[in-house]
């Protein structure tokens, strides 16, 4: 994309770390996980890094092999001056030179690829950076939106809470006023009798409510058993019908 190209050009002087090697980068996706695009780009960077590591190891081994061949060539060059071993040393010298040519060709090929790999890694890492930034800023926008919605909900609940607190206080004040007026009008003795009666009625209502709840549970359980029995009966009838048809 043109915008991405211009953006990357603006970031050329900035050093971007290899993201897949940074644990903090991985933790960016701890809550929501990585998108498929980010996962693909991450795999691309990992493959390039693995390739770079393998080539460096291969180059190291080839250098060891070359050193061994060079030592062998020096030894065989000295052996060519001896009469009995001259032909053997000469053939070994030619073989070592041929092997060195092969090693040099392989080393040259690897070194050329190693020159190109850092650029490829940097390019893939920049792609991963752009996609990571898109993800992060989208998450920031989404989180801010949800935070604003929660704030609005809290404000609404806070208003409702204040209203309900005032209602509760008003009901309690009204109860105290009613009881005070009843006390003044009817006196303590009469009020005590009615208090006892009210307590009995409250207990009776609570008992009835509990009994009704138990009755509903029993009815529901009975309905479930009846349904299960009907299902079992239908299943048996279907099996018997199937057996008759087969016979």
Q: What is the pTM of this model?
A: 0.58
With respect to residue 34, please indicate whether it lies within any of the assigned structural domains.
Answer: yes
Q: Are residues 114 and 200 in the same domain?
A: no
By mean pLDDT, which of 97-111, 115-129, 140-154, 233-247 is the weakest? 233-247
Q: Are residues 16 and 127 in the same domain?
A: yes
Q: Are residues 148 and 196 in the same domain?
A: no
Question: Which parts of 80-187 fold into alpha helices (H)?
Answer: 86-186
Residue 91 predicted with pLDDT over 80? no
With respect to residue 178, please indicate whether it lies within any of the assigned structural domains.
Answer: no
Q: Are residues 25 and 144 in the same domain?
A: yes
Structural domains counted in the chain: 2
Q: Are residues 27 and 116 in the same domain?
A: yes
Digit-coded pLDDT (tens) for 51-85: 999 999 999 999 998 888 888 777 766 655 554 45
Whether 70 and 97 have beta carbons less than 8 Å apart is answered as no
Whole-number Å distance between alpha carbons of 94 and 17: 48
H or E element, residue 63: helix 36-79
3-state secondary structure labels for all residues of 80-107 = CCCCCCHHHHHHHHHHHHHHHHHHHHHH
Digit-coded pLDDT (tens) for 92-111: 777 778 888 888 899 999 99
Q: Are residues 96 and 16 in the same domain?
A: yes
Q: Are residues 206 and 92 in the same domain?
A: no
Q: Write the CB contacts of 34 (distance below 8 Å, at least 6 apart in sequence).
A: 42
Whether 100 and 63 have beta carbons less than 8 Å apart is answered as no
Q: Are residues 20 and 90 in the same domain?
A: yes
With respect to residue 182, please indicate whether it lies within any of the assigned structural domains.
Answer: no
Q: Are residues 6 and 65 in the same domain?
A: yes
Range of the domain at 52: 2-158
Q: Are residues 141 and 221 in the same domain?
A: no
């Amino acid at each position: 994309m043109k915008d991405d190209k211009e953006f990357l050009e603006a970031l050329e002087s900035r050093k971007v770390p290899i993201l897949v090697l940074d644990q903090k980068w991985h933790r960016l996706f701890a809550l929501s996980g990585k998108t498929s695009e980010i996962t693909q780009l991450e795999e691309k960077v990992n493959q390039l890094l693995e390739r770079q590591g393998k080539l460096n190891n291969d180059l190291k081994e080839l250098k060891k092999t070359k050193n061994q061949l060079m030592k062998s060539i020096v030894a065989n060059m000295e052996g060519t001056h001896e009469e009995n071993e001259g032909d053997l040393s000469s053939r070994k010298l030619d073989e070592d030179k041929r092997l060195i040519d092969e090693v040099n060709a392989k080393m040259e090929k690897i070194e050329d690829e190693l020159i190109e790999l850092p650029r490829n890694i940097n390019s893939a890492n920049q792609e991963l950076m752009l996609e990571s930034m898109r993800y992060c800023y989208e998450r920031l926008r989404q989180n801010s939106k949800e935070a604003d919605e929660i704030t609005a909900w809290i404000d609404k609940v806070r208003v409702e809470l204040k209203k309900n607190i005032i209602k509760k206080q008003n009901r309690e004040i009204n109860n105290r006023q009613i009881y005070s007026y009843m006390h003044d009008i009817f006196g303590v003795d009469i009020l005590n009798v009615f208090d006892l009666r009210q307590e009995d009625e409250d207990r009776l209502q609570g008992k009835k409510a509990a009994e009704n709840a138990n009755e509903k549970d029993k009815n529901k359980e009975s309905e479930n058993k009846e349904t299960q029995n009907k299902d079992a009966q239908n299943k048996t009838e279907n099996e018997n019908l199937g057996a008759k048809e087969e016979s």
